[in-house]
Amino acid sequence: MKYVNEYRDAKLVYGVIEEIRRTVTRPWVLMEICGGQTHAIVRHGIDQLLPPEIELVHGPGCPVCVTPLELIDKALTIAASPDVIFCSYGDMLRVPGSGRDLFSIKAQGGDVRVIYSPLDAVKLAQQNLDKQVVFFAIGFETTAPPNVMSILQAQRLGLTNYSILVSHVRVPPAIKAILSSPHNRVQGFLLAGHVSAVMGYWEYPPLVDEFKIPMVVTGFEPLDIVQGILKTVQLLEAGKVEVANAYSRAVNFDGNLPAQKTINQVFYECDRKWRGIGMIPMSGWGLRPEFDAFNAEKRFDVEAIHTQESPLCIAGQILQGLKKPHDCPAFGKECTTENPLGATMVSSEGACAAYYRYGRVELHQQVEQS
């Protein structure tokens, strides 16, 4: 596959890793923000190829993982309502709310559909005027443009039976929260390439100035990731504090300005609860009041649902990079991808799922034994 295979070339990757080895002189802790990067790192064994001085900790960039239990309970209530077609991306179906999931709602007769684009949900609304079609709009900045487009399109079509349940989150406030924590160990960030393709990286210089820590926009293929790591290590070793771009084939400083404009037309910045972390000020997007007609929380009267998180799962600490998945006593035992206890094990972008799927259970046990 063109533009993919080149960036998976093992020889090139080894070359960059050698360069990292030559550059590094002392220990550094880096965080990759995005769950997609976590999976690529573990799948390709990049963390094992790096010199021991470099520790990668995994960030909260998995939208499924950070969606609060409360919102999932709201989704389940809406999906179980009569005359509703509830649309979601596939990996949300198995995420348990308080005792049930979207799969069980579907088995009990709820009309739950997996779609690949919110515009498909708009189409469903057009075809089913006697039903309410609701799209579960979760995600970071990356998925915001199509989600807001679906609202604008529904408005243009005059649809009164389409709404979205919004739980959008934003990267910069999350980074600020992590860096503000007294437990923070992170010394450099790999910024999420897809998010930056939409948003650019103009939001990060103030954070870099405030916390004196370098950040590097990084892509998702193995070569992209090691180049992002190399750039971060070079900045750290040189004592430079700045934002750099190691993913210039997809990202520029300004980002996609028409997309940003459209997002701001429909969404406003608001406080948002992150699962396992708690409330982060101004870290989310909500629907502006003029789009109340498309707000599923208002339409279905679920604003009163409040849920407490389970105290057992340590996903919160994992999402903040304070613990590794195998630090959890349930990891690989009670909690597996077949029988997940928490969202970090369910989602295809979750750190626990990455560690479990790519065999870090045995690896960890072997290390313990040796």
86 bridge partner residues: 112, 134
Q: Are 164 and 135 in contact, with CB atoms under 8 Å apart?
A: yes
Contacts of 122 (CB under 8 A, 6+ apart): 133, 150, 153, 154, 157, 159, 162
- Please tell me what DSSP assigns to residue 335: B
Residue number, 212 or 249, with CB nearest to another protein: 249
- 253 Cα distance to chain centroid: 21
- Tell me how far, at minimum, the Cβ of 117 lies from another protein, in Å: 7
CA–CA gap between residue 190 and residue 58 (Å, rounded):
10
Indicate whether 10 belongs to the interface with another protein (CB under 8 A).
yes
CA–CA gap between residue 274 and residue 66 (Å, rounded):
5
CA–CA gap between residue 357 and residue 335 (Å, rounded):
12
Indicate whether 362 belongs to the interface with another protein (CB under 8 A).
yes
- Tell me how far, at minimum, the Cβ of 5 lies from another protein, in Å: 9
CA–CA gap between residue 132 and residue 111 (Å, rounded):
11
Indicate whether 238 belongs to the interface with another protein (CB under 8 A).
no
In the list 30, 33, 49, 259, the residue contacting another protein (rule: CB under 8 A) is 49
Indicate whether 13 belongs to the interface with another protein (CB under 8 A).
yes
Q: Which stretch binds another protein (CB under 8 A): 20-28, 43-51, 169-177, 305-313?
A: 43-51
Residue number, 81 or 117, with CB nearest to another protein: 117
Residue number, 180 or 365, with CB nearest to another protein: 365
CA–CA gap between residue 301 and residue 309 (Å, rounded):
22
> Footprint of another protein on residues 169-208 (CB under 8 A)?
none
Alpha helices for 80-221 (secondary structure H):
102-107, 118-127, 144-156, 171-180, 193-199, 205-211
Q: What is the residue type of 304? A: A
Indicate whether 48 belongs to the interface with another protein (CB under 8 A).
yes
Please state whether beta strands 215-218 and 243-245 pair in parallel, antiparallel, or not at all (unpaired).
parallel
Indicate whether 22 belongs to the interface with another protein (CB under 8 A).
no
Residue number, 187 or 348, with CB nearest to another protein: 348
Residue number, 117 or 126, with CB nearest to another protein: 117
Q: How many CB atoms lie within 10 A of CB 260?
A: 18
CA–CA gap between residue 146 and residue 153 (Å, rounded):
10
CA–CA gap between residue 196 and residue 312 (Å, rounded):
34
Indicate whether 333 belongs to the interface with another protein (CB under 8 A).
no
Residue number, 116 or 333, with CB nearest to another protein: 116
Size of site (CB under 8 A) for another protein: 19
In the list 270, 330, 348, 364, the residue contacting another protein (rule: CB under 8 A) is 348
**Segment holding 66, helix H or strand E:** helix 63-66
Residue number, 172 or 222, with CB nearest to another protein: 222
Indicate whether 44 belongs to the interface with another protein (CB under 8 A).
yes
Indicate whether 211 belongs to the interface with another protein (CB under 8 A).
no
In the list 20, 42, 76, 190, the residue contacting another protein (rule: CB under 8 A) is 42
Indicate whether 336 belongs to the interface with another protein (CB under 8 A).
no
In the list 26, 52, 116, 261, the residue contacting another protein (rule: CB under 8 A) is 116
Contact positions toward another protein, by CB under 8 A? Answer: 1, 4, 10, 13, 42-46, 48-49, 116-117, 222, 348, 357-359, 362
